[in-house]
Amino acid sequence: MGLDTSSHLTIINNKLTRLIFISLIFLSVQFSFGQANLSIKNKGFNEVSDSIIKHEIAGFTITGSAFKKADSLNKKTLTEIPIRYCSEKEVSLWWQTFTSSVSTFIHFYFKGESSNKLLDSIYLVTHSHFLVTIPKSAVEGLYQSKFCDFKYQGKKGKYSSPYYKAFYSTDKRRLYIYMLGETNSSKYEITWVIINDKYFDKVLDNIP
């Protein structure tokens, strides 16, 4: 038995109403997530709640220096990973020993003009082969105009810079990747926190 014209129109209207309703739900979910993302505030050093992480970050940051002086238990408990290569487009730090399985490679990649580079990504490998993903949102919007110095010590040369550092905790569970950023108009420092070979958080502070 065929359907009359009014029945066809009713079915079509019902389908259109349902499609519009589902589309509105989808758009409202997308919009609400976008609003939430826009309202996220960067965590500063004073907002770090974990006492161990805060204690360790205080050992190498400018913002944490006052906390370090006030902390009577503060001792040098971190192992620094040296800079091995530096240019205006890439800074590399790595730490590797023949007696340890904790071989770590950190690479900063930049793009843009030489006077005001933009951090594009951080490539991190631990245990010689384990790739640790640092999300794009953790590195976006960070400009840098400072890089490294190269000095000869005897017959060997060595890169040095206060702008790029990395440290392991004593137990090698926590890795801190640090950058001191400076442009013509601002200065800041940021620490990316890696725990058990997984990205955990970033700590960002403006420097007066």
Output the six-digit token pair for 141. 């919007």
- Any idea which residue has 């810079």 for tokens? 161
Q: What are the beta bridge partners of residue 201?
A: 193
119-125: long-range pairs with CB below 8 Å, 24+? 119/143, 119/144, 119/179, 122/177, 122/192, 124/177, 124/194
Distances (CA, A) of 83 to 33, 64, 159, 198: 39, 22, 6, 22
Shared domain check, 13 and 105: no
pLDDT at 24 over 70: no
Shared domain check, 93 and 17: no
Shared domain check, 107 and 181: yes
Shared domain check, 10 and 62: no
Shared domain check, 86 and 173: yes
* 31 — pLDDT class (breaks 50, 70, 90): very low
Shared domain check, 17 and 58: no
Helices vs. strands in the chain: H and E counts, helices first: 3, 13
30 or 187: which carries more pLDDT confidence?
A: 187
Q: State pLDDT tens for residues 42-86.
A: 799 999 999 999 999 999 999 998 886 666 555 568 999 999 999
Query: Distance between CA atoms of 137 and 54, rounded to whole angstroms?
Result: 22
Question: Positive or negative CA dihedral for 164, 119, 145, 85?
Answer: positive
Do residues 111 and 117 lie in contact, with contact meaning Cβ atoms separated by under 8 Å?
yes
Residue-number span of the structural domain to which 34 is assigned = 1-40
Domain count, the chain: 2
Shared domain check, 122 and 67: yes
Q: What are the beta bridge partners of residue 159?
A: 150
**Torsion angle in degrees (nearest 10) through CA of 66, 92, 186, 199:** -70
Shared domain check, 70 and 143: yes
Shared domain check, 99 and 3: no
Shared domain check, 129 and 29: no
Q: Are strands 149-153 and 143-144 parallel, antiparallel or unpaired?
A: unpaired
Q: State pLDDT tens for residues 120-164.
A: 999 999 988 899 999 999 999 999 988 898 887 767 788 999 999
pLDDT at 95 over 50: yes
Shared domain check, 196 and 129: yes
Do residues 180 and 189 lie in contact, with contact meaning Cβ atoms separated by under 8 Å?
yes
Shared domain check, 68 and 19: no
